[in-house]
Structure 1
Amino acid sequence: MIIYNVTINVEEEIEKEWLIWMQETHIPEVLQTKKFQSALMTKVRVEEDMGGVTYSVQYSCPSQEMLEAYYNEDQERMQLSANKFAGKFVAFRTELELISQH
Structure 2
Amino acid sequence: MIIYNVTVNIDNSVADEWLQWMQEVHIPDVMKTGFFLHNQISRMIDEIDNGGVTYAVQYKCRNLEDLEEYQNEHADAIQSRHDARYANQYVTFSSTLEIVASDVERTEQAG
Taking structure 1 as the reference length, the TM-score comes to 0.96
Q: Structure 2: which 5+ runs fail to align?
A: 104-111
* Cα distance in 2, alignment partners of residues 3 and 60 from structure 1: 5
Find out whether 1:77 has 2:77 as its counterpart. Answer: yes
* Secondary structure in 2 matching 1:10: strand
1:87 is aligned to: 88
The aligned residue for residue 43 of structure 2 is 43
Report the CA distance between 1:78 and its aligned residue. 1.1
> 42-51 vs 89-98, which deviates more?
42-51
Q: What is aligned with 1:68?
A: 68
1:33, 1:73 → 2: CA distance? 9
Structure 1: distance between partners of 2:51 and 2:38: 29
Q: Runs (4+) of structure 1 moved beyond 6 Å? A: none
> For residue 31 of structure 1, what is the amino acid of its counterpart?
M
CA-based RMSD? 0.9
Unpaired segments ≥5 residues, structure 1? none
Q: Percent identity?
A: 43
Partner of 1:5: 5
Aligned residues: 102
Q: Distance in 1 between matches of 2:48 and 2:87?
A: 20
Under a length normalisation based on structure 2, what TM-score does the superposition of the two structures give? Answer: 0.88
